[in-house]
Chains A and B, each alone.
Chain A
Amino acid sequence: MATIRVPGALRLLTANQADVEVEAATVRAALAALDQRYPGIAGKILDGEAVKPFIRIYVGADDITALQGLDTPVTARDEIAIIPAIAGGR
């Protein structure tokens, strides 16, 4: 199963789970599976059919925008990292 790395900012929605394993063939399907387990989380990552502009998604070392976007294939060995912009530090 592919592993989704959930950023700290979204872990309130995953009962504090940092890594979530999902059965999926694409990034889109992986996010759908994540949302099925933790309803509402996809809405924090996606804006309709697109990734929100302040979030990047990587499969392994590659930004999916340089691959096939949400249709990027994933395998059981892949890690899908969700990387949001953060602004704290004051």
Chain B
Amino acid sequence: MKATVVGAGGLGGPLALALAAAGVELVIVDPDVVEVSNLHRQIHFTAADLGEAKATTLAARVARAGGRAKGYRLRWVAEDGDDLSGDSDLVVDGSDDPETKFAVSDWAVARGKPYVIAAAVQFGGNVLVGAPGTACYRCLFEEPVAAATCAAAGVLGPVVGAIGGLAAALALAVAHGGAHGNLGTLYVFDDLRASPDPRVVRFSPRAGCSACAQRKAS
């Protein structure tokens, strides 16, 4: 089993460590370096990692834990998708960038691969599970504009661990064909300080979704 983890930050860290510990070989992709402002939530990094590339540093952390991972200091874009993720069985997004989330979803839909999109901001987050034949991220949110990000709104450190852990569990389920009840579902955690219970949003394919239309045409 092989997976691409897009983003090596607050979500990508727990995702990568959990998936690798479950025996999943990883490709980890992230363009950034570790900054001091990351350390309160990206607890897979230490002060000794400051200035180092997140992707390769996380891959090394996975390897020290006994897992298999390659890190690439790149922004994941659709043009590189086949090279980076063509042999992955699924793609898991924990990036901080709306454009990347849509690119991952669109590419996965086009290639018929399952995927998980995770996000966390302030005190909550959401996780979407997608697979061939189900409604996709673009069916739900249509286009990448003005989404709230950590950069603008901040995030409580433990929130990314909780959301990343759930995303890893759902990724393992979808990779092993055990996520049928979760496909085409968005789990919304409004404020984990107030309640750990998600709002479960089940949605249907949207007429006019360009990603789904392209998939059908190919």
Give 27 CB contacts A-B under 8 Å. Answer: A8-B123, A9-B148, A53-B141, A53-B143, A54-B98, A54-B143, A54-B145, A54-B146, A58-B201, A83-B188, A83-B201, A85-B101, A85-B148, A86-B125, A86-B147, A86-B149, A87-B96, A87-B149, A88-B119, A88-B121, A89-B95, A89-B160, A90-B10, A90-B11, A90-B94, A90-B95, A90-B149
Task: Evaluate contact between B118 and A89: CB separation under 8 angstroms.
Answer: yes
Other A-B pairs beyond A8-B190, A85-B148, 5, CB < 8 Å: A53-B141, A53-B143, A63-B201, A90-B12, A90-B151
Q: Which single residue of chain A is at the shortest CB-CB distance from B206?
A: A65
Q: Chain B residues near A89: list those with CB within 8 A.
A: 7, 9-12, 94-96, 118-121, 125, 150, 155, 160, 163-164
Query: Does A81 make an interface contact (CB < 8 A)?
Result: yes
Interface size on B, residues (CB 8 A): 50
Q: Report if B124 contacts A (CB, 8 A).
A: yes
Minimal beta-carbon separation of B141 from chain A (angstroms): 4
Cβ–Cβ contact B190 & A7, under 8 A = yes
On B, residues with C-beta under 8 Å from A are 7, 9-12, 32, 38, 94-98, 101, 118-126, 140-151, 153, 155, 160, 163-164, 186, 188, 190-191, 194, 199, 201-204, 206
Which residue in B7, B125, B153 is a CB contact (below 8 Å) of A90? B7
Taking A87-B96, A87-B98 as contacts, is the C-beta distance between A54 and B147 under 8 angstroms? Answer: yes
Cβ B188 vs Cβ A88 within 8 A: no
The 7 closest A-B pairs by CB, nearest first: A90-B96, A88-B121, A88-B150, A89-B11, A53-B142, A90-B9, A9-B148
Minimum Cβ distance to chain B for residue A86 (Å): 4
Residues of B with C-beta under 8 A to A83: 186, 188, 199, 201
A87-B119, A89-B9, A89-B11 known; A63-B191 Cβ under 8 A:
no
| A84–B32 CB distance below 8 A | no
Pick the contact of B148: A18, A58, A86 (CB < 8 A).
A86
CB atoms of A9 and B153 under 8 A apart: yes
